[in-house]
Amino acid sequence: MTLPSTDTRVSYPDGDTVSTGTVLHVEPLADGRSAVVLDRTAFHPVDTAWPDQPADRGRMRWGAAEAQIVGGVTGGIHDGELLLGRELPVRMGTPEWTFVVGHVIEGEAPEVGAEVEVSVDEGYRHALSAGHTGCHLASLALDAALAEAWTKAVSTDALGAPGFDAAAIQTSRIEEFGSTDVYRIGKSLRKKGFDVTALDDLDAVAARANAALAAWVASGASVRIERDGDAISARRTWVCALPDQEARIPCGGTHLAGLDAVEAITVALEATDVEGGRELRMRTTISLRG
Ligand SMILES: [Zn+2]
């Protein structure tokens, strides 16, 4: 059994939701499931190392057969071994690994060499794309809202503000028309020069972030994904042409094509005490026009 030696070519960064590909490998999984690896796909899998955007939903058809795709994971091939999902020990793009999309299906699987059509649930994808675009903008708005809270120089974000998001993020979860980001406010953040009293009046922080978001939404800025190639491991960048400056953030997910379709993006902030510090939770909601 020969495993693929080239990365899966992916078209979801361009917004595609339908693709035709050839089966390169079928990996048996527990519970009668299998992971189907194709040469190309429009199906967005959840990334193992940074699982922010969930996998698409969709179906796979070949000949007279079809199957629901119940999951999508990233996989890596190294030394003749395929490691899928949580087993994958390296980040996407690590040299000398081949990276693939594993389409998880139940029951009968197509054979190696079969031609397969993949169709992605467009409504769900659209809702996640909206959530992901809102998430990026909310992180920039939060950084701007906390820009005065730093007493030392810290790495800056895509708009030149001190990077609170990058310094404190623990988890980021994209949802349908929203996202939830969790930040850790502890000793290491204080050492980097973050004044935690900036979070005493969270309503004021949220108001500043929401004002920035409202201005960006009103600009109707275009959004695009730039990429070095169509391999899943190729470097991709989210680019949003905001009025004052183009924001560029490395990103493997899917997005809206622009903010002209957006009615509003708002954030709500909540802090809780945890051992050794506090946890800040930002819930972002994005609504579309019409
Ligand atoms: Zn992203």
Kindly state whether residues 127 and 96 are assigned to the same domain: no
pLDDT tens-place string over residues 201-237: 999 999 999 999 999 999 999 999 999 999 999 999 9
Region of 113 (left: φ > 0; alpha: ψ -120 to 50; beta: rest) is: left
Check residue 84 and report its DSSP letter: E
3-class DSSP assignment, residue 77: strand
Instruction: Kindly state whether residues 68 and 157 are assigned to the same domain.
Output: no
E-strand ranges in the chain read 9-10, 18-28, 33-38, 40-41, 58-62, 65-78, 81-84, 98-106, 115-120, 169-175, 178-185, 223-227, 236-241, 246-250, 262-274, 277-288
One domain for residues 107 and 226? no
- The answer to whether the beta carbons of residues 21 and 40 sit under 8 Å apart is yes
Q: Which domain holds residue 226?
A: 123-288
> What distance in angstroms lies between residue 132's CA and the mean position of ligand 1's atoms?
6
Q: What tens digit of pLDDT does each residue of 78-106 get? A: 999 999 999 999 999 999 999 999 999 99
Residue 3 maps to a domain: no
CA of 113 to the centre of ligand 1 (A): 33
d(C-alpha 261, C-alpha 33), whole Å = 39
Q: What is the CATH number of the domain that holds 241?
A: 3.30.980.10
Half-sphere exposure of 188 (CA within 13 A, CB side): 8
pLDDT at 290: 83
CA distances from 74 to 71, 129, 179 (A): 10, 19, 21
From 84, 79, 16, 74, select the one nearest 45 (Cα to Cα).
Answer: 74
What pTM value is reported for the model? 0.97
Q: Are 16 and 113 in contact (CB under 8 A)?
A: no
Tokens of 124: 């769900």
| Predicted pLDDT at 258 | 98
Distance between Cα 234 and ligand 1 center (Å):
14
Over pLDDT 70: what percentage of the chain?
A: 100
d(CA 52, ligand 1 centre) in Å? 8
Residue that finishes a domain, picked among 91, 120, 149: 120
CA 134 – ligand 1 centroid, Å: 10
CA of 172 relative to ligand 1 center, distance in Å: 9
Does residue 55 share a domain with residue 177? no
Give yes or no: residues 223 and 277 share one domain.
yes
% of the chain with per-residue pLDDT over 90: 98
Last residue of a domain, one of 120, 136, 152: 120
Same-domain status, 103 and 140: no
Kindly provide the b/e burial profile for residues 179-196, where b requires at least 16 CB atoms within 10 angstroms of the residue's own CB. bebebbbbeebeebebee
Residues 6+ apart with CB under 8 A from 47: 53, 74, 92, 252
Q: Do 142 and 269 lie in a common domain?
A: yes
Same-domain check for residues 89 and 168: no
Assess contact for 224 and 251: CB atoms under 8 A.
Answer: no
Based on the domain organization, do 242 and 137 belong to the same domain? Answer: yes
Query: Which tokens is 189 given?
Result: 């953040």
Residue 69 sits in a domain whose CATH number is 2.40.30.130
Residues of the chain with pLDDT under 50: none
> Which residues are paired to 103 by β-bridges?
36, 72
* 103 falls within a domain: yes
How many angstroms separate the alpha carbon of residue 202 from the centre of ligand 1? Answer: 25
Nearest to 15 by CA among 129, 101, 134: 129
Residue 161 lies in a domain: yes
Choosing from 86, 101, 120, the residue where a domain stops is 120
Domain-located, residue 4? no
Q: How close is the Cα of 127 to the center of ligand 1, in Å?
A: 14
Span from the CA of 254 to the centroid of ligand 1 (angstroms):
8
The answer to whether position 265 is within a domain reads: yes
Q: For the chain, how many structural domains are there in total?
A: 2
240 and 271 inside one domain: yes
Considering the domain architecture, whether residues 44 and 182 belong to the same structural domain is answered as: no
Please classify residue 282 by burial: count the beta carbons closer than 10 Å to its beta carbon, then call 0-12 exposed, 13-18 middle and 19+ buried: buried
Using CA atoms, how far residue 48 sits from 28, 74, 102, 194, in Å, is: 19, 6, 12, 30
- Same domain assignment for residues 133 and 254: yes
230 CA to middle of ligand 1, Å? 17
